[in-house]
Chains A and B, each alone.
Chain A
Amino acid sequence: MPKVTNREFNPNFSKALDIESLISAPLVAVSKANVVMAQGQTRFLLEYCFKKNGESYEPILIQMALTKPVIDPGKAAVKAVAASAPGVMPVVEAVEATPAIPQSMQMVTTHFTLPLLTIVPLNSLAVEKVNIDFDMEITSVASKPSGSANESNNTITDRKAQLYGKVSDSGSNSERGSANQSKTLNKIKINLNAATLPLPAGVLTIIDIYTKSIQAVPTENKPEN
């Protein structure tokens, strides 16, 4: 097994880059981190929430208990009817009657199955919010023509400003004192706030399909001892 040694993180702050690269670099890093997490989620889903059956995957099901009150309508008192010969109207006599069963409410427990993935809180694996805050020291300003080749034939050509800079080492600047105070004017404070979607649409659809397919399936109730 190769030996891994801890290396100190020494970023090269001296290299100037264009402003788009400086801003997009941490966002690309976050995006890549989310891809790694999405791959981890997919692997987790297939490994623990599904079981492989030949070429296809089947969801692992869990048992859920549904308890709901059921009203028993009861039974009204029924009067006994004396037997009579065929074709003759029966004579009702109030001599015997079965006792009435009063209306009652019972809690009935029903079992149903649910795919395991519908209760696993998967969205907690994603990067929720990113806050990136850094100072950018502008090293040079350039301009380049913007637009397509056809537009460049016009007499007035739009030129797009291009800023080049590097991540400012604010700690060392403060040590330099007031001698380099003019340099602070060339700084831009960049504050990025980025939020990610909770889950990819495909995973959400899979969960939605399984969630919608919940149907209460009564199973045999085991006799309680």
Chain B
Amino acid sequence: MIAQSQNIPCPVCSTGIPFDTKQLMMGVQFACPNCAASVGLAPESKELVQETMEKLEAAKGKTSK
């Protein structure tokens, strides 16, 4: 399920593209609801995003304790 709160503007038509970061890391491409463009994470940035998400989860764990 895609979290509707997160979206990025389409670089072609500026319509908001809803996306989920975890699915983005898995290589899923998210299509613009207005035009036929689709946006995905480039493979070279996957590791960086994955590391950041792990750190975010760790920070959430620290805060909840």
Contact = CB atoms under 8 A, between A and B. Distances in A.
B8 A67 contact: no
A153 interface: no
Interface string B20-44: 0100100001000001111111101
B22 to A, nearest CB: 9
B42 A111 contact: yes
A50 to B, nearest CB: 12
A119 B63 contact: no
A119 B21 contact: yes
Contacts of B40: 64-65, 67
Contact of A48 (B19, B55, B62): B55
Contact of B48 (A62, A65, A68, A214): A62
Contacts of B9: 211-212, 214
Nearest to B62: A40
Interface string A162-181: 00000000000000000000
A112 interface: yes
Contact of A66 (B21, B37, B63): B37
A112 B56 contact: no
A206 interface: no
Interface of B: 3, 5-6, 8-9, 11-12, 19, 21, 24, 29, 35-42, 44-45, 48-49, 52-53, 55-56, 59-60, 62-63
Interface of A: 36-37, 40, 44, 48-49, 60, 62-69, 111-112, 114, 116, 118-125, 198, 211-212, 214-216
6 contacts: A36-B63, A49-B52, A68-B36, A116-B52, A120-B52, A121-B3
